[in-house]
Amino acid sequence: MVRNLAEAEDLTQEVFLQLFRKIHMFRGESAFSTWLHRISVNVVLMRFRKKTLAETSFDVTADPDEDFRTSPNEFGHPDLRLNGVIDRITLQAAINELAPGYKATFMLHDIQGYKHNEIAEILGCTVGSSKSQVHKARMRLRELLRDAVGNHARRRRKSIASSPVMDRLKYPVDCANA
């Protein structure tokens, strides 16, 4: 269905993860192979629905004959390969600041995809406690990320305000006498 061996391997792994997570839901009303086929098709269709990222072959980017491979029209434009790196680093730092209980439930639910009843079983708590911990973790993450974005904006304004360009703007130059 995907016509790409590497992506097919990734999807196969995802299928078996889904199988592991949902094996308790198999009721035996049909053949196991039919149920597994449906899970497989659903995983592939969900991948098709997600926004696909541009793929670049390692052969193109890691050409040993060329030290620097950039087309002339790329200069001066943002490097899209780095798009989101700062956000991911900021998010990871915020997650690391969470209390251990919040972090554990958040990681299990929002990152790894476990349901609240599964988390309750893993951590030995109630379903309500799991829900509460995930909610509180999300609220704390919002605070941490809001603070991080605010700090970044303040640092940026401060560095711009103290730049030599801004000094020149504070004292206008008379073009006739310049």
Tally DSSP H helices, then E strands, for the chain.
8, 0
pTM to 2 decimals? 0.45
Name the domain count of the chain.
1
91 falls within a domain:
yes
Give the tens place of pLDDT for each residue, 19-41: 888 888 888 888 888 888 999 99
Task: Kindly give, in sequence order, each residue whose CB lies less than 8 Å from that of residue 95, ignoring residues fewer than 6 positions away.
Answer: 103, 106, 107, 141
Q: Give the range of the structural domain holding residue 113, as residue numbers without chain letter.
A: 81-163
Neighbours of 10 (CB within 10 A): 14
- Within the chain, which residues score under 70 in pLDDT? 51-83, 152-153, 155-178
Neighbours of 84 (CB within 10 A): 10
156 falls within a domain:
yes
